[in-house]
Amino acid sequence: MRYFSQATGIRGPSGFGSRSTAEQVTDSIDASGRTVIITGGSSGIGVETARVMALRGAHVIIGARNLEAADSVKQGILQNTPSAKIDIIELELSSQNSVRAFADKFLAMNLPLNILINNAGVMNCPYNLSEDGIELQFATNHIGHFLLANLLLDKMKSTAEETGIEGRIVILSSAAHLVTYREGIRFDKINDKNTYNSHSAYGQSKLANILHAKELAKHLKEEGANVTVNAVNPGLIKTNLMRHSVFYFTMLRVLLFVLWKNIPQGAATSCYVALHPSLKGVSGEYFADCNIETPTAKGRNEELAKKLWELSETLIK
């Protein structure tokens, strides 16, 4: 039924489906007065997410490693939405120093923070270590975002308390979390070059995104914070994220052509989870096509989530 609804665009309980666009799922929502950070807002679905958030009135902060590309995105948005408020801060998620510098620069702006969309990522790249000595996909897709959320969480909590507006964290995962290593997360072999597989390592990082959302949601609920966190699967979208596996994804596109989305459709679930009023209080869930979905058993494993949290805290110290 899941693949049938994806292929046909049949709408789920939310009233939206795989063919819904970011503009459609946020239609008539007023986000003015809210500040949203979007990592990777200079390419792929991050561009569309930034555009639609600005269109709805939010003050958009784009975190990007390519400042020239980010400025081009900003100018393009301003051409169509002259009233848009957009700022750019340099961010390289594989570098913990860069993540800390980004957080410092944002906090120095003395802005509220209502929404954090952890959108950026790398996919299926050859084996490499980050400057912090962590396998690159795990470092970029999970650890960088884990650290960023930690650094900005107090600001999100205080903003929610002062304004009464629920804070929301959106973490982009993927259906690729199904294709991970046998253990799910290889806690003792994160950097093992000899057994490295680029597809499994990517799946591991995307599983980590789901587990991060689950565990962080648990912590926030225990604190009574007015902040939710959910993981989302944007679907199959052709972006430059796939540059390391052109042949693989070309074949996948031929075989599963009915399941692929365009970029406005790919950004829909992120925008829906970030803004839609029907999701007030919903936290720790996994969304696909703007509806709650069930991840794999490993993605629901609370012990795995707790162990990953502990490892992540160790890696960011």
pLDDT value of residue 10:
81
Structural domain span for residue 14: 2-311
Specify the pTM: 0.92
Q: Which residues, other chains included, contact 57 with Cβ-Cβ below 8 Å and sequence gap of 6+?
A: 30, 31, 32, 33, 34
Return the closest-CA partner of residue 282 out of 166, 162, 173. Answer: 166
- CA 28 – CA 295 distance, rounded (Å): 31
Tens place of pLDDT for every residue, the chain, 317 residues? Answer: 455 455 456 889 999 999 999 999 999 999 999 999 999 999 999 999 999 999 999 999 999 999 999 999 999 999 999 999 999 999 999 999 999 999 999 999 999 999 999 999 999 999 999 999 999 999 999 999 999 999 999 999 999 999 999 999 999 999 999 999 999 999 999 999 999 999 999 999 999 999 999 999 999 999 999 999 999 999 988 655 544 444 544 554 444 445 679 999 999 999 999 999 999 999 999 999 999 999 999 999 999 999 999 999 999 98
Q: What are the start-end ranges of the E strands in the chain?
A: 35-39, 59-64, 85-90, 115-118, 167-172, 227-233, 236-237, 260-261, 286-288, 291-293
Within-domain flag for 317: no
**Domain at 104, CATH number:** 3.40.50.720
- Do 261 and 249 contact (CB within 8 A), yes or no? no
Looking from the CA of 285 toward its CB, the CA atoms found within 13 Å total: 17
Does a structural domain hold residue 280? yes
- Total domains in the chain come to 1
d(CA 149, CA 155): 10
68 three-class SS: helix
Does 48 fall in a domain? yes
Q: Residue 143 gets which letter from DSSP?
A: I
Q: Of 161, 144, 267, 155, nearest to 212 (Cα)?
A: 144
pLDDT for the residue numbered 5: 56
Residue 316 lies in a domain: no
Catalytic residues: 196
Q: Does residue 248 form part of some domain?
A: yes
Which of these, 167, 164, 173, 144, lies nearest to 155 by C-alpha position? 167
Q: Would 118 be classed as within a structural domain?
A: yes
Determine, yes or no, domain membership for 148: yes
Q: CA 227, CA 219: separation in Å to the nearest integer?
A: 10
Helix (H, G, I), strand (E, B) or coil at 275: helix
